[in-house]
Structure 1
C-alpha cells in the first residue's frame, strides 16, 4: 500500500471552481475553508443552513476578491435531485464553469435494521432508507450531474474531477453499521464503475474516493472516548480535507481510493489489483482479467437497446 502525500501549492487551487455537498460541518466545512484559503471559489450545499451561511459569510469577509464571492452557500438536500441541480446551477451561473465536484454529504446509521427485539408485527413495517438515500443516492446524483456540468465552458483538455467521500466502512467490516456500511461499499463500487467510463471521451473526467477512518466529527461521539483510550489514530476534519484537496489537484490520479488514518493517506486500489492472484487465485484471476478486457470501459453496456427487454 503506497502512502499518498497531498501536494497543494499556493497556485494549484487558485481560481478553481469547486462544488461541494455536505459542506457546512465536519470534513466538508474544512474542505470548503481549505480550498478558499488557497484561492479557489467554492459553491457548497448542506441542510445545515445556519452553519453554511455563517461559513460562507466568514470566508467572503476575509477574501480580497471583490468581483466574485469566494464562497456561496445554498441549502441542499442530496435526497432531492432538483436540490443538487440548483447547487450546480448556482455555481455555473456565478462562476461560468466548474472544475471539480466533491460528494461529501453523509449521515450515520439510523436505528437498527436487525434489532433482535423485532417481532412479527414490527418487521411488517419497512425501516428507513435515508442512510442509503443520502450516502449512496446522493453520490450517484452528484456524479451524474457533475459529469455534465463539468464539461460546460471548459476546454476538453482542462483537468476536471469528481471526488466521492466513502469511509473505512467502504472496504472493512463495521459491525452494527449495517446500512451505513452497505452505502459506503456502494460509493466505492460507483467510483470503480466510473473510473474507466468517465476517463474516455466525451467525459474526460477523473474520479476518486476518500475513505476516512476515525475522524473527530459529530458522527463518532459515541465511540470517540473509547477510541482515544485505546490510543488508536484519529483524523481531524482538516487532515481529511487536505487529502481530499490533494486528489483535486493531482491530475495524474484517477480511480484511486485513499484510506486516511491519523492524518496519513494510503492508496488501496493498486494493491487490491496487484495482489489479486494471491487472494483470488492465479487461475481465476487470469480468467477474470480476460472478462474485464471484454467489458472494457463499460460503453457496450450503455448502447441504445442493450438493456431493452
Structure 2
C-alpha cells in the first residue's frame, strides 16, 4: 500500500439524493458501512438529514448533509462542489430523490403531474448532468425507476411515465459515457415499505400488494440498499441496465 492510498483523499465518495429518509437514507448508511464518505442531500427536512448524518458518524463513517432541490441546476452544482471541497471528488451518485402522487389518469391534478415531472424527470437530468461532468474514473451513477412500469398498476400512470423517462436517460447516458470507465444503471424497486409507498394505502391494499411477488412480502429499504451497494462497488460489468428489485413480482 502506497502512502498516497492511506490518505483520506483516497476514500471513495458518494452523493445520495433523497438521503434523509427511506431508501435514500438506507443506501447512504450502507455505502458508509462499505467505506464511502457520504454527502446526504435533502429537500427540506433538516432534522431527518442531521439524524442520518449522526447515524453514519456514530457507526464510524463520514457524512455531511446538504440541502438542494434536485431540479435546480445551481443548487445541484453547489451540492457537487461541497462533495469535492469536503472529500476531494465524487465517485458514486445515487439519485434516490423522487415524489409520487397516485390517481387514475382521468382524475389526476395537472399540478401534481408537473411536480412529478420537475422532481423525477428534470431532477434526474440535472443530477445526472453534474455526475457526467464530475465523476472520477471507476465511478457509478445509480438512478431510481420503479417496477410499476412492468406491473402497469392502475393509478400509477403519471408516476410510471416519469420513471419511464428515468430509464431512457439511464440507458442513453451509459452509452454517452463511453471511454470514461463510469457505469450508469437504474434500480427499479417493487412495493417497498417506505413512507412514500405506504402513504394513503389501507391495510387491505398493502397486504394485497405484499403478495404480488413469490416471496410474499414487501421489500425493505435494506433490500434495495443492498442492490445499490452492489452497483456502487463490485458490479463493474453491469452497465446500462435496469435492475428490477421486486422479489420476483415481474
- The TM-score range, normalised by the shorter chain, is 0.7 to 0.9
Distance in 2 of aligned mates of 1:144 and 1:36: 24
Distance in 2 of aligned mates of 1:257 and 1:132: 20
TM (norm. structure 2) is 0.84
Once the two structures are TM-superposed, the CA of residue 16 in structure 1 deviates from its matched residue by 1.4
Distance in 1 of aligned mates of 2:59 and 2:188: 31
Cα 1:40–1:126 change in 2 (3 A) is: closer
Q: Deviations over 1:198-257 (max 9, x none)?
A: 1x24x4421001000010001222132333477833210011011111011111111111
Q: Deviations over 1:239-281 (max 9, x none)?
A: 101111101111111111111123x799xxxxxxxxxxxxxxx
Which is helix-richer, 1 or 2?
A: 2
Q: Deviations over 1:52-78 (max 9, x none)?
A: 111102322331x7xxxx011111211
> Considering only aligned residues, what root-mean-square deviation do their CA atoms show, in Å?
2.4
Gaps of at least 5 residues in structure 1 are 1-13, 117-124, 152-157, 267-309
Contact conserved, 2:102 with 2:155, CA < 8 A, in 1? no
Once the two structures are TM-superposed, the CA of residue 149 in structure 1 deviates from its matched residue by 1.3
Contact conserved, 2:69 with 2:75, CA < 8 A, in 1? yes
Partner of 1:272: none
Contact conserved, 2:103 with 2:156, CA < 8 A, in 1? no
Partner of 1:42: 38
Identify which of 236, 243, 251 aligns with 2:220.
Answer: 236
Once the two structures are TM-superposed, the CA of residue 126 in structure 1 deviates from its matched residue by 5.0
- Give the paired residue count: 231
Contact conserved, 1:233 with 1:261, CA < 8 A, in 2? no
The DSSP-based 3-state class of the residue aligned with 2:111 is coil
The DSSP-based 3-state class of the residue aligned with 1:195 is helix
Contact conserved, 2:18 with 2:42, CA < 8 A, in 1? yes
Cα 1:175–1:110 change in 2 (3 A) is: closer
Distance in 1 of aligned mates of 2:165 and 2:150: 10
Distance in 2 of aligned mates of 1:137 and 1:218: 23
